[in-house]
Structure 1
Amino acid sequence: MAYQTGTAATPDQLLDALRVFAVANGWTQLNWAPSGTGQELSLSKGGHYVHLRSAFDERLRSGYSNVTGIFLTASIGWDNAQPWNNQPGIILNTSSQIEVCGLYEVSTSNPYHLFSLSGPDMILLVAEVSPGIYHHLAFGELEKHGVYTGGLFVSGAYGSDGYTYTYSGFTDYVFGYNVDHHAGLPFNDYKYYGQNFIRADVDGFDGWFSVCSNSPRTGKRARALFEAGQNSNNSLGRMWYSRVPNTLNGVSPMLPFYLFVERPDTYFSPFGYTPHLRYLNITHYSPAESFTLGAEQWMAFPAHSKNGKSGVHGYAVRLIP
């Protein structure tokens, strides 16, 4: 694996750091050019294509709020004559509009952490956008259950505005409970519509699944660890959370992010998981703290802000395999 840390003052600088880092770790740069208020970047590796765009106080399209940060999406092909947001098989919603996730609320001084993992490939960017507040974006391939076309994922913040962290209306009541304050956690599916995506060729469909609890943006739904609901029986993540850290020794075991795709009978089948990125209750960890488990070394981050909007929900990324 490779690891790099630094500080960026603008979304352009943050995206450029990711670009140089990704290319140095085996990704091919397909495009790097001015675009709107920022830069657009397209990368490929192993038949996977991801597209990123920095922005300053700009919105992606109608339906999105203005943001300062980085948009992230993906496609199933590359056309050199087309911009980042019009690539073959790009992530579209049921109204044929582009969908993205990303890293938002970038400020004038953003310490960042970049990780590159292999077997399977993954790039993770985590930025401290304000003191104690961490946002992420990630892309790469899942460890697959079975053999199929696809496996690419893109993960980041759920939306482009503040209500994703604070709204507690009827359909988003999950934020009303302290146990559920895990804004920004990779692959959260408690969000009603979802804006993390995985590609799969399943049941004759070759395209993008929205990781969400209901009403998938792409028309196809995938699930992960967390979901809405007022009792732990509805969510693997809730049951896991209630049992960590271990009350006997204070250790907090990690749990890979498992992904499941919906089948025509409405049941879900195991699809894959993230071996290098795992859920972690960070009660006993500080943000960006590294720790050792046997021969492995990991680094912990809060889903948003420790004991803030994400409580002690967090994740860990592999530093030394």
Structure 2
Amino acid sequence: MAYDLGTALNPTDLLDKLRAFLVAQGWTVDLFAVEAPGKRLHMHKGGFYLNAKSADNTASSIWAGGGASQTQQIGFNLSTGFNSGNAWRDQAGVPMRGANSIGGSIKLPAGAIVSYWMDYDDTTKSLILYVQKSAGVWRWMGFGESLIKAGSWTGGAWIASSSSYEWAGYSEGPGHDNTLPCYPFGANKDSGLGPLVMVRADVDSFTGKWVSCSNEEFTGRTGDTNVAGGRVVSGQVPTLSGLVERSRNSLNSTSVLLPVQVFTTRDDGGMSLLGTLPNVFMTNITGLVPGQAYQQGVDWFVPFPGDSATHGTVIRRA
């Protein structure tokens, strides 16, 4: 595992820092080139491919069919290959919503990025990137080659971000307020909640595609997470909200780390657990400093705020 932290001038500069960080982890750059209103980046390691695009201004959308996506951001998705003749987002095996390729987006400040933090785990080829958008407000993106699977099934690649592609140009906090924190690694019931989680998984008759924990970015199969927030499949998946609020021990200021689980609907209408996100936990962050590393045994953990003073995410650091 490896990590990096620092500042960036704009979304394209942050994308370049992500490129350099992944190169240091053994990834290969397929293409890194200027493409207004930013740059496009394509990388791979083995048969695992990342496609990303920066936008430094709001002049144009970086997503097809997504005029709402006009904002400073980095958009990204995952694929099974790379073709330089295709649009940055239109690669083999990417998530699809109807005829449009989709993915995740991290909304970024219009000016300089005062703080970013990223962590990479080569065992699962997973990356988590957090950016401080404004005082007390952090946004994130993440991806990996495989969840920690529950059982055996085909697929495993995952995408998570604080905005879905369609709503990157709109609000992503509660009550449609861009200045507020939003549910970390939660499901997206409507545009007021913002975050996106998608998993590439063969589920019953649904094969070769992506399960989407979002009613807005419907890929043909709906999933859900156990994170507090909008329930995509109401009543079928328990949330961590109550546990998070009660997981801090006031005597010694310790908090329980709770796994982020991803579920999928089945052909018969039920739900099954796909697995958990690697190195990502929900916890009560009361008293913890965002971005500061805390040691527990041989491991280091870094907390980031969520949608309230108590709900937050902790990343196991390299």
The alignment's TM-score, normalised by the length of structure 1, stands at 0.85
Larger relative helix fraction: 1
Aligned counterpart, 1:143: 148
Query: Does the CA contact (< 8 Å) of 1:195 and 1:217 recur in 2?
Result: no
Query: Does the CA contact (< 8 Å) of 1:182 and 1:314 recur in 2?
Result: no
Distance 2:112 2:181 in 1: 24
Displacement of 1:104 in angstroms is 0.6
Aligned counterpart, 2:314: 316
Determine whether 1:203 maps to 2:204. yes
Displacement of 1:216 in angstroms is 5.2
Aligned counterpart, 2:94: 90
Cα deviations across residues 165-190 of structure 1 (Å, max 9, x unaligned)? 1437xxxxxx9xxxxx861512x115
Cα deviations across residues 109-147 of structure 1 (Å, max 9, x unaligned)? 211112111322211111112222211111112112223
Query: Does the CA contact (< 8 Å) of 2:187 and 2:224 recur in 1?
Result: yes
The alignment's TM-score, normalised by the length of structure 2, stands at 0.85
Counterpart of 2:278 (choices 275, 279, 282) is: 275
Specify the SS of the correspondent of 1:242: helix
Displacement of 1:255 in angstroms is 1.2
Displacement of 1:246 in angstroms is 3.0
Aligned counterpart, 1:117: 121
User: Could you tell me the percent identity over the aligned residues?
Assistant: 27
Query: Does the CA contact (< 8 Å) of 1:99 and 1:195 recur in 2?
Result: no
Counterpart of 1:126 (choices 124, 130, 133) is: 130
Aligned counterpart, 1:221: 222
Aligned counterpart, 2:171: 163
Distance 2:96 2:188 in 1: 21
1:1-321 pair list within 5 angstroms: 1-55=1-55, 56-57=57-58, 58-59=60-61, 60-63=63-66, 64-93=68-97, 95-110=98-113, 111-140=115-144, 141-158=146-163, 159-167=167-175, 183-186=182-185, 188-192=186-190, 195-204=196-205, 205-212=207-214, 214=215, 217-226=218-227, 227-228=229-230, 235-303=238-306, 309-320=307-318
Displacement of 1:8 in angstroms is 0.3
Specify the SS of the correspondent of 2:202: strand
How many residues were matched structurally?
300
Query: Does the CA contact (< 8 Å) of 1:50 and 1:72 recur in 2?
Result: yes
Displacement of 1:233 in angstroms is 9.3
Single out whichever of 9-18 and 269-278 deviates more from structure 2.
269-278
Displacement of 1:248 in angstroms is 4.9
Distance 1:249 1:236 in 2: 25
Distance 2:108 2:80 in 1: 28
Single out whichever of 104-113 and 281-290 deviates more from structure 2.
104-113
Displacement of 1:219 in angstroms is 1.6
Query: Does the CA contact (< 8 Å) of 1:116 and 1:122 recur in 2?
Result: yes
Gaps of 5+ in 1: 169-174, 176-180, 304-308
Amino acid paired to 2:142: A
Amino acid paired to 1:200: A
Please provide the CA RMSD for this pair: 2.5
Displacement of 1:47 in angstroms is 2.3
**Deviation >6 Å, runs of 4+:** 231-234
Cα deviations across residues 19-46 of structure 1 (Å, max 9, x unaligned)? 0101111222222111221011112224
Displacement of 1:270 in angstroms is 1.5
